[in-house]
Structure 1
Amino acid sequence: MSDPSDARAAAAALMPDVLDRLGDLVRIPSIAFPGFDPEPVHRMGQAVVDLFEAAGAEGVRLVDVPDGYPCVFADLPGPDGAPTVLLYAHYDVQPAPASQNWSTPPFEPVTKSDGRIYGRGAADDKSGLVIHYATLKLLGADRPCRVKILVEGEEETISHLEPFVEANPELFTADAFVIADIGPQSPGRPGLTTALRGDVACTVTVRTLANPVHSGEFGGAAPDALTAMIRILDTLHDENGDTVIPGVDSGRWDGAAMDEDVYRGGSAILPGVDYLGTGSLSDRIWAKPSVTVLGMDVPSTAEASNVLLNEVKAKLSMRIIPGSDGDGQLEALMAHLRAQRPWNCEVVVEKVKVGHPFAVDESHPAIVAAEDALREAYGAEVESIGSGASIPLVASLKKIAPDAAIVLWGAEDTAHARIHASDESVDPAEIERMIVAQTRFIQEFAGG
């Protein structure tokens, strides 16, 4: 199947099977977050083993990850002297709470009139699983290189896979790592992600009183913890909406531009609402820091009463730029928060996690092969794009194989996929194109 037209014909013939299998995977609510039922997560892990066995992979197995859900692993032999390619995806998904207001049941795949398949995980990242499945089917038993499979079970929550990979490098080393957990700006528009922002997180707890007190009797002199928290959080951005924290790095983006129409549609910004920040749109989402308040422990409006709150806790996430040091950037954020003490309130800041940023060496032979494969599959020039998202495992993979390439691609388009949100969806045509691209990449890289 060295001819691109052969790969396209084979992928097209396989698509009914691929989409049936994708639907079966979407039906499993594999939410690995603490507090959710673990049974569907374990069921999903076994379903992934079954998926790759059906693709002809030998020795696929679940591997226990200390303190976490198991990963799926396989090591498929290839010709002597050929390179090794590791295919990565994850089988866990984000929650789909009723508050998101899905238009269809989130764990029942639905194909709508636009041709897209809707369901939690349809894009992120069960599309990656079926792309890998189909790639193995198209390569067949006479694959041109050694192929490893690594599928994670808790990428969407606090992962335990990174230390496990670093402690067992002999299992996971490769010449190229293919991360099918991202995508282009829009369907039919080939994009290779060459930079990822990192993601660091912490909690901040503000205390002002020994216990809640009546807001009428004591308000006006006794400080409310929520009001103090609001003042602290307000220091994280300037009047333009830029994240401005001493010691936190900022940069500029030099690759392909973010399409504003794609971004506005995908971000769901309401008409008349302004963008945050300054600089180009690409700078703001790919090369500048961005801090977000993910949640706060306060009474809901339905539970609110006339009291001053004694304690409020918030969780913050900050996306950090490629080339920066994750540990140092988190410490800068935490130091800034500790220094904010309106009315001498107590402030306690605690680390949650560090996810390091990443930049691709675009001269690596595997990256060149990946660009060629995308060009063949899509019939269009490839965009070098960034991502504001983070994939923490990438830093661990580079640590165990520093000379390896990281190929970042997939079917999760920015324009319509709505990953982590309501009505997540995937374009089947994008899955088909990525099957062709990934198959051709392995053939070209192995041949080179």
Structure 2
Amino acid sequence: MTTHEELPVAVAGPQADALRAAVDASFASTLATLKELVAIPGIAWASFDAAQLDRSADAVAALATAAGFPEVGIHRALKADGTPGGPAVVARRPAETGKPTVLLYAHHDVQPPGDPALWNSEPFIAVERDGRLYGRGAADDKAGIMVHMAASAAVAEVLGKDFGLGVTLFIEGEEEAGSPTFRAFLEEHQAELAADVIVVADSSNWKVGIPALTTSLRGLVDGVIEVRVLDHAVHSGMFGGPVLDAPTLLARLISTFHDEKGNVAIAGLVSTDETDVDMPEADFRADASVLDGVTLAGEGSLTSRIWTKPALSIIGIDAPSIAVASNTLLPVAGAKFSLRIAPGQDPATAMEAVRAHVEANAPFGAQVTFTPGEMGNPFAVDMDSPAARTMMGALAQAWGTESVGTGIGGSIPFIAELVEIYPEAQILVTGVEDPDSRAHSANESLHIEEFRKAVLAEALLLAALNAGA
């Protein structure tokens, strides 16, 4: 854990007080605008109304124009099949001579609401309840948009003509659909989006009351494994015994992916147990909804098991359902695996490690086919960079407590593309979520006071960057 005392103060004295006052004075309006954004069901999936996604982009562009950004546009890149991607809003305030530029990223598209019966209130009507704001996108990631808008507005108000920092807003419109045109969009707008510091507001804090800068993200590789034992299905009574069916052999193969303690048992994967913070097992079990009696898998700290070690899951199986099962030896069965890889792991090397393991562990000589799928790089922040240290100081100032660096077990694949295209930029991954935000689930919510502090922390960061931090 990095302590408040070890970090530089982002902005000191009357200027810090003025920024806090500006954020507080406009916060009711900031929250009201967030509620308006939540009311727009902009979903980038093909099965949903594309007009609502356009409406969402228009609303964000209007906010940027009202905030005084001189250059505001809505752009799309083409997907691999030639169809247009989701609408992204780009708004720019060019830097004055000698000043750096910061790129502020968030996304305006949201997850589908899912089963409405699971929500305690309408998903697209923002409702305040017990200090939280409920609604789809309230936390992920329309709050990120409003952090950027409100923070830059507060700094512009306090600094006035002294605000020469370049600020570019990049509000994506297809993140929840996998960002299919993100790379093409960056390549088309590379100069327009270039920045010295990139702030990605799409992550989480450690817990309510303790702010965090995301220090690492696991990468992802996936693929499909097929096991074949017969040329065609045969009667289980006539031939069962000497021949094991494909689902049974697939299960035996899957069982080799973990050792007896639940650690991933594939040779050649990066795994470390280096984390600054840990969490009580009871908290993890509650957050993950682990049933009583189920033993947690793996060794080492809980945070290392979800941040800096690999995790392999089977996310789909092809076999007949119970409803249509017959007394037949099945000739073929398949499974899709999803492997989260630790920071420092090359995705292509991890993919080949899984392939080698599968081929070496083919049960009973079964024919095994390995089909590689998607690959995404992990990410690690240089916590000694000036931007990271300034951000940690800003978080500590805004919350009035120690800030921490935390990993995230999930993946944000486009981060690797930002690193590749802007290798000199310092990238910061921040967020407004907390362990109870339930992003992607029913009853998604935002802790309102944590949201206020996130706005102040980013305002402090922008003011510090403007001053040359």
* TM-score (normalizing by structure 2): 0.86
Aligned to 2:440: 420
Do the aligned partners of 2:77 and 2:184 also contact (CA within 8 Å) in 1?
Answer: no
**Amino acid paired to 1:109:** A
**Amino acid paired to 1:446:** N
Per the TM alignment, residue 101 of structure 1 is displaced from its structure 2 partner at its CA by 3.5
- Computed over aligned residues only, the root mean square deviation of the Cα atoms, in angstroms, reads 2.7
* 1:387 partnered with 2:399: no
Q: Which one has the largest radius of gyration?
A: 2
Per the TM alignment, residue 279 of structure 1 is displaced from its structure 2 partner at its CA by 0.7
Change (3 A) 1:130 1:301: farther
* 1:136 partnered with 2:157: no
Change (3 A) 1:233 1:49: farther
Change (3 A) 1:261 1:69: same
Aligned to 2:314: 293
Candidates 301, 304, 307, aligned match of 1:280? 301
**Amino acid paired to 1:394:** I
Runs of 4+ in structure 1 off by over 6 angstroms are none
Taking the TM superposition and a 5 Å limit, the aligned residue runs for 1:11-410 are 11-33=23-45, 35-67=47-79, 68-98=85-115, 101-112=118-129, 114-140=130-156, 142=160, 143-159=163-179, 160-166=181-187, 168-209=189-230, 219-220=240-241, 223-302=244-323, 304=325, 306-410=327-431
The superposition leaves residues 10-38 of structure 1 with CA deviations (integer Å, 9 ceiling, x where unpaired) of 22232222222322333333333454444
**Amino acid paired to 2:156:** G
SS in 2 for 1:439: helix
- Partner Cα separation in structure 2 for residue 423 and residue 214 of structure 1: 49
Do the aligned partners of 2:19 and 2:155 also contact (CA within 8 Å) in 1?
Answer: no
SS in 1 for 2:420: helix
Per the TM alignment, residue 384 of structure 1 is displaced from its structure 2 partner at its CA by 1.6
- Partner Cα separation in structure 2 for residue 146 and residue 33 of structure 1: 33
The superposition leaves residues 261-302 of structure 1 with CA deviations (integer Å, 9 ceiling, x where unpaired) of 543332222233221110111221111111122233445555
- Partner Cα separation in structure 2 for residue 102 and residue 209 of structure 1: 47
> Unaligned stretches of 5+ in structure 2?
1-10, 80-84
- Partner Cα separation in structure 1 for residue 457 and residue 75 of structure 2: 29
The superposition leaves residues 296-353 of structure 1 with CA deviations (integer Å, 9 ceiling, x where unpaired) of 3445555555555444443322111111212211222233234443344443332332
**Amino acid paired to 2:71:** G
Do the aligned partners of 1:31 and 1:93 also contact (CA within 8 Å) in 2?
Answer: yes
Do the aligned partners of 2:344 and 2:378 also contact (CA within 8 Å) in 1?
Answer: yes
Do the aligned partners of 1:365 and 1:445 also contact (CA within 8 Å) in 2?
Answer: no
- Partner Cα separation in structure 2 for residue 157 and residue 314 of structure 1: 23
The superposition leaves residues 115-150 of structure 1 with CA deviations (integer Å, 9 ceiling, x where unpaired) of 212223221222211111212322337443001111
- Partner Cα separation in structure 1 for residue 238 and residue 442 of structure 2: 43
**Amino acid paired to 1:94:** Q
Per the TM alignment, residue 444 of structure 1 is displaced from its structure 2 partner at its CA by 0.5
> Unaligned stretches of 5+ in structure 1?
none
SS in 2 for 1:177: strand
Do the aligned partners of 1:162 and 1:392 also contact (CA within 8 Å) in 2?
Answer: no
Do the aligned partners of 1:253 and 1:286 also contact (CA within 8 Å) in 2?
Answer: no
Moved more, 48-57 or 300-309: 300-309
Do the aligned partners of 1:257 and 1:385 also contact (CA within 8 Å) in 2?
Answer: no
Per the TM alignment, residue 57 of structure 1 is displaced from its structure 2 partner at its CA by 2.4
**Amino acid paired to 1:265:** A
SS in 2 for 1:178: strand
SS in 1 for 2:20: helix
Do the aligned partners of 1:248 and 1:333 also contact (CA within 8 Å) in 2?
Answer: no
Change (3 A) 1:174 1:21: same
Change (3 A) 1:15 1:35: same
The superposition leaves residues 167-198 of structure 1 with CA deviations (integer Å, 9 ceiling, x where unpaired) of 65322221110010112111121111111111
Aligned to 2:455: 435
- Partner Cα separation in structure 2 for residue 90 and residue 190 of structure 1: 21
- Partner Cα separation in structure 1 for residue 208 and residue 378 of structure 2: 26
Per the TM alignment, residue 431 of structure 1 is displaced from its structure 2 partner at its CA by 1.1
Aligned to 1:446: 466
